[in-house]
Amino acid sequence: MRTAFLQYVLLTFFLLPLLSGAAPAGEAVLVDAAGKQPRIAVAADGAAYLVYGRGNQVVVRTARKPAAEFAPASELGPVDGLMCGMRRGPQVAVTAAAVVVAAIGKAGDIQAWGSSDGGTTWGDPVTVNDQASAAREGLFSIAASGARIWAVWIDLRSGKGEIYAAHTSDGGAHWSTNLVIYRSPDGRVCECCQPTVAGLADGGAVIMWRNALAGARDLYACTVDAEGTVTTAPAKLGSGTWTLNACPMDGGGVSAVGTRYAAIWRRDADLYLVTSAEPAKERALGPGRNAAIAAAGGKLLQAWQRDADIVLARDGAKPTVIGQGSYPVVAAAVGGAPALVAWEAPDGVRILRLAP
C-alpha cells in the first residue's frame, strides 16, 4: 500500500517516470567540527552550495561540479549574535545567475548576501525585512523560483507572529516590499516552528507554516504568484489534527516541481506526506521528526531524524540509516544529480553525496 501510494505521488505530482532510488555513494564526510545547522542548494548545472553557522560566522562551501569536492570555507560576517540552532541558521538559494545566502543575528533582521560569480565574491549584506527587528524570532527560509528568490519568515512587527515574505530578482541586491502572507484569526502562528518555502515554475512560491488555531498546531500552506498575491487560500494539510498547548519546534519541509508541490511534516510522534494534488490526503511515514524533502530527477527524497539516527527514504523504499545526529537537510539538481544530504552530527556538520 505504501509503495503504491508513493508511486502515485511520483506519477501525478512529478509527471516523470519512476527511476531507481538514490543510494549513498560513500561515507558521510565531516565538513566542520564546529559547524551547526547546515543548508544546501544545488544549481541546475550541478554546482552545490553548503552553508552553516560557526560561532558568529556564516560559512559557505562550494562544489562547482557534480562530483567535485567542496572547496575550502569562505566566511560572511561576522553576524553579531548569529541565531543558529533548532532550524534557526543561515539559508542558501541559487538561480542561474546568482547565489544568495541569508542569516539573522540578535538585531532581528534578515541579512542577505549575493554573489554573481558562483560564490567567489560577495556583495555587502542587504536587509530583507523593511521594519527593524521584525524577524527577531529567527525562523525563516529562502528558495529560488526561476530568476527570483523568495524569503519567508515569522514576523513580529505587530507584536504577534505572522507569516511575511519578500522576493528579489537581482540576486539579493534589492528586495520587494514585505508582503503579509498570513495572519491567524487566533492572533499568532506557532511561534517556534520554521516556515518553509519552495519556488514554483511561474515565479511564485508555495509557503508552509505551522499554525496555532483553535488549540491545534497543524501545518498550513498557500501559494503565491510572482508578485506575492495569494493564489490558493491558506489551508490545512492532511486529515488529522494535533491538539497541543505548546510549540513542537518542528516545521517540516516542502519541495516543488513545476506548479505542484509535496510536503512532509510531523504530527505528534509521526511524519506525514501530502501533495498539492490532494492536500487533505495524507500518508503516514512512521515515527520521526525534523524532516526535509527534495525532488530529485523524478524521485522524492526524504530525510529525517529518528531517535538519534538520520534516515533517508526514497520512492517508497524502507528508510535507511545514514548517520547519527539531528536537523537533516536534502537538496538535488532538477535532473537528480547531484543529490546531497547534510546534518548536524555529534562531531560537527556532515554531508553525504548520493549515487544517481
Residue 335's pLDDT is 82
Q: Which amino acid is at 198?
A: A
Residue 5's pLDDT is 42
Instruction: Return the number of other C-beta atoms located less than 10 Å from residue 136's C-beta.
Output: 20
Residue 6's pLDDT is 44
Rounded to an integer, the average pLDDT of 262-273 is 97
Question: pLDDT digits over 2-37, tens only?
Answer: 444 444 444 344 433 222 334 565 789 999 999 999
Residue 337's pLDDT is 85
Handedness of CA 224, 228, 234, 236 (dihedral sign): positive
Q: Which residues contact 38 (CB under 8 A, 6 or more apart)?
A: 31, 50, 51, 52, 327, 329, 342, 343, 344, 349, 351
Q: What percent of the chain has pLDDT over 90?
A: 87
Q: For the chain, what are the domain ranges?
A: 2-355
β-sheet bridge partners, residue 198: 206
Question: pLDDT digits over 139-190, tens only?
Answer: 999 999 999 999 999 999 999 999 999 999 999 999 999 999 999 999 999 9
- Sheet order of strands, 320-324 included: 289-296, 299-306, 309-314, 320-324
3-state secondary structure of 151: strand
Average pLDDT, the chain: 92
Q: Which residue has the cell 501559494?
A: 223
Residue 4's pLDDT is 44
pLDDT at position 350 over 70: yes
Instruction: Return the number of other C-beta atoms located less than 10 Å from residue 118's C-beta.
Output: 15
Residue 317's pLDDT is 73
Please state whether the predicted TM-score (pTM) of the whole model is above 0.85: yes
Instruction: Return the number of other C-beta atoms located less than 10 Å from residue 34's C-beta.
Output: 12
Query: For residues 342 and 329, is the Cβ–Cβ distance under 8 A?
Result: yes
Rg of the chain, C-alpha, whole Å: 18
Question: pLDDT digits over 29-86, tens only?
Answer: 999 999 999 999 999 999 999 999 999 999 999 999 888 899 999 999 999 999 999 9
Query: For residues 316 and 290, is the Cβ–Cβ distance under 8 A?
Result: no
3-state secondary structure of 224: strand
**343 class by beta-carbon count within 10 Å (0-12 exposed, 13-18 middle, 19+ buried):** buried
Alpha carbons within 13 A on the beta-carbon side of 310: 23
Residue 294's pLDDT is 97
β-sheet bridge partners, residue 354: 24, 339
Most distant pair of Cα atoms in the chain: their distance? 52
Min mean pLDDT across 12-21, 226-235, 243-252, 261-270 is at 12-21
Nearest to 309 by CA among 326, 329, 287: 326
Question: pLDDT digits over 226-239, tens only?
Answer: 999 999 999 999 99
Per-residue confidence band for 355, with pLDDT thresholds at 50, 70 and 90: confident
Task: Please tell us whether the domain made up of 2-355 is placed in CATH 2.60.40.10.
Answer: no
What secondary structure letter does DSSP report for 88?
Answer: B
pLDDT at position 1 over 60: no
Distance CA 42, CA 132 (A): 31
3-state secondary structure of 11: helix
